[in-house]
Chain A
Amino acid sequence: MFSHVLLKVSSDRLWSFSSTASVAARSYSHGKQETDEEFDARWVTYFNKPDIDAWELRKGMNTLIGYDLVPEPKILEAALRACRRLNDLASAIRILEAVKDKSGPHKEIYPYVLQELRPTLSELGIPTPEELGIDKA
């Protein structure tokens, strides 16, 4: 009998909780939509992990490239620094290639990204695919 009363009380609570929560959310999805800044921040934090391992770098990069977007330069900078911590130059160059490929027909994205990343590239000594000549088959 006691437990029956408890159940009733808790179900009343659930009712009121759901009615207030729906006000904050948008109506086209049942959860809160992540903003671009939140998305970027999340990925920068991911790559900035000091003891990131090679698998996490690969997984993160492959997942990021799978999204329908070109990653922001700040995410890419974090990824390149992760490559440096892992002593993996080849992956750093590959990331730049992937960004260019991901831009597709929008040819102005890649030069912009390179321009933003130029300080990091010079500091770490990462060559662009063009400098190595692998941008042409």
Chain B
Amino acid sequence: QHTLEGNRDHTAVIHICLSIYLDRYFQTLYSSLTVVVLVHLSSDVDVIDCSVPQYNNRLDTPLPDVPFVRNLSSEQKKLKEKEKGSWTQLTKEEKLALYRLTHELSYAEMRQGSKEWMTVLGGVFIFLGFTGLLVWWQRVYVYGDVPHTLSQESVAQQTQRMIDMRVNPVHGFSNKWDYEKKQWK
């Protein structure tokens, strides 16, 4: 009885230990997973605040709602101050810099296309080609033999019968057979 109880205690203790261990294990696993997921979310994705006006490159909207660069460095701030004076004092590079602060893409850059269509077309052809290979394999290894009526001999017999039957004698098949000379016209 002593030993039985002892065993029961042991198993109870082991049971408890195991459950605590497993619980801790899963807790840490879950928390570490969530940490990993949270870190992943915050580092990879730039969350755009859609509740405020955003910058956009549009041909039909020459002046976007907000400038492209919001957080100006001290040099850029100095340039902005200089902008308040006469623009004839600005160098060409400064003028260009001011333009690029407010706008990401110029009209010409917005209008230019890309070569993506070549990639897309190429990809389409590659996959069509691969499908062709699969179809070829299927024709060779999956399809059975073709009916014997398609053999040369059988076709000749069929054609002779069609001539004898005078199939389409006016404008069609038999019209093209010369019955005197027994050959095609």
On whether the beta carbons of B95 and A89 are closer than 8 Å, the reply is: yes
Q: Is the CB of A134 within 8 A of B96?
A: yes
Q: Which residues A120-134 have CB closer than 8 A to chain B? A: 124-127, 129, 131-134
Contact A94 B108, CB 8 Å, known A57-B63, A66-B60, A132-B96: no
For the complex, count residues of A whose C-beta is within 8 A of B: 31
Specify which chain A residues have a CB less than 8 angstroms from the CB of B108 in the assembled complex. 129, 134-137
The answer to whether A91 touches B102, judged by C-beta atoms less than 8 angstroms apart, is: yes
Kindly identify which residue among A65, A93, A133, A137 contacts B112, using a CB–CB cutoff of 8 Å: A137
B62, B64, B65: the one within 8 Å of A97 (CB): B62
Shortest distance between the CB of B142 and any CB in chain A (Å):
52
Complex interface bits, B67-98 against A, C-beta within 8 A gives 1, otherwise 0: 10000000000000001101111101001101
Residue of A nearest to B93 (CB): A132
The answer to whether A125 and B62 have CB atoms under 8 Å apart is: no
Enumerate chain B residues within 8 angstroms of A134, measured Cβ to Cβ: 96, 99, 106-109
Task: List, in ascending order, chain B residues with CB within 8 A of A124's CB.
Answer: 87-88
Closest CB of chain B to A66's CB: distance in Å?
6
Nearest-neighbour CB distance to chain B for A33, whole angstroms, equals 25
A4 and B101 CA atoms in complex are apart in Å by 68
Contact of B106 with A137 in the complex, beta carbons under 8 Å: yes
Q: Which of B59, B89, B99, B112 contacts A90 (CB 8 A)?
A: B99
Across the interface, do B86 and A61 meet the contact criterion of CB distance under 8 Å? no
Partner of B63, one of A91, A131, A132, A133: A91
Q: How far is the CA of A44 from the CA of B89 in the complex (A)?
A: 28
Contact B99–A93 (Cβ < 8 Å): yes
Please give, as numbers and ranges, the residues of chain A lying within 8 Å of B86 by CB-CB distance.
125
Chain B residues lying within 8 Å of A84, measured Cβ to Cβ, are 87
Minimal beta-carbon separation of A51 from chain B (angstroms)? 16
Q: Does B61 contact A (CB under 8 A)?
A: yes
Given contacts A90-B103, A124-B88, A137-B106, 9 further A-B contacts (CB under 8 A): A58-B63, A62-B63, A65-B61, A91-B62, A93-B99, A101-B59, A132-B92, A134-B107, A137-B112
Interface residues of A (CB under 8 A from B): 57-58, 61-62, 65-66, 84, 87-91, 93-95, 97-98, 100-101, 124-127, 129, 131-137
